[in-house]
Amino acid sequence: MSAKDEILSRIRSALADTPATEEVPREYRTTSEMNEEQLIELLVDRLVDYKAGVEVIEAAQIPEFVAAKLKDASSVVYPQGLDTAWLSALGQNVEQRIDAPGARLSVAELDATSAVVTSSAVSVAESGTIILDGQPDQGRRAISLVPDHHVCIVPISTIVQLLPEAMPRLSITRPLTWISGPSATSDIELERVEGVHGPRTLDVLMVRGL
């Protein structure tokens, strides 16, 4: 008997008295009970509680609000697939940097960039979580984690109430970024420290008509 066969034999022997797998009850909620306005209200409440800035706007207002949120920025990065019309109201003093598969910004370049603008895949109102899945209008994870300020576009049509509703909308083969407010942590004395794991400032534009 080879060493491999002996190892496998011991594993089989150890598992001989393993109890049968029991069926796990799936009684948790899987379907939303809220209408659109209730979903908006709940997500806004959660995001504000997490200290994010939130605006509920129409699609035509995106350039205006993006420019307002980035009025103090000197530079902004955006993914290749983002609608550049959303950046059309930015002042000439704001340098626009595109991050594309063939022309990725370095970590140092991202760290020196004031802000990032992305879209999002789906948002879970009950937990106040915005999920990015690396689609072209969201870009790779680094661009939404390194700059200090994230302006995130959330189409209202992508808001769901529950996590089980969100999962089928996501691709399991894509890298996922789950955002519940600005990056923050607390030390042993419960002193809040922001910006440790990602952007210190999160502004969410919840958009009707996208």
Residue 175 lies in a domain: yes
Per DSSP, helices labelled H in the chain are: 3-14, 36-49, 62-69, 107-111, 141-145, 163-166
Residue 22 lies in a domain: no
Mind listing the pLDDT tens digit for each residue in 25-66? 888 888 888 999 999 999 999 999 999 999 999 999 999 999
Instruction: Tell me if 189 is assigned to some domain.
Output: yes
Determine the pLDDT at residue 195: 67
Contacts 24+ apart (CB under 8 A), 183-188: 184/51
Q: Measured between alpha carbons, how far is 123 from 159 in angstroms, rounded to an integer?
A: 5
Q: How many domains does the chain have?
A: 1
137 with 119: CB under 8 angstroms?
yes
Specify if 136 maps to a domain: yes
Across the range 122-141, mean pLDDT stands at: 96
- By CB atoms closer than 10 A (0-12, 13-18, 19+), residue 57 is middle
Residue 130 belongs to a domain: yes
Tell me the per-residue pLDDT of 156-193, one tens digit each, with 9 for 90 and over: 999 999 999 999 999 888 999 999 988 777 777 777 77
Per the structure, the complete domain to which residue 200 belongs is given by: 32-208
10 falls within a domain: no
Is the confidence at residue 18, as pLDDT, over 90?
A: no
The verdict on residue 81 lying in a domain is yes
Q: Which two tokens stand for residue 60?
A: 């035509």
Does 67 fall in a domain?
yes
CATH of the domain at 200: 3.40.50.10420
For 114, residues 6+ apart whose C-beta sits below 8 A from its C-beta are 70, 72, 73, 74, 75, 76, 147, 148, 149
Kindly report the pTM of this predicted structure. 0.84
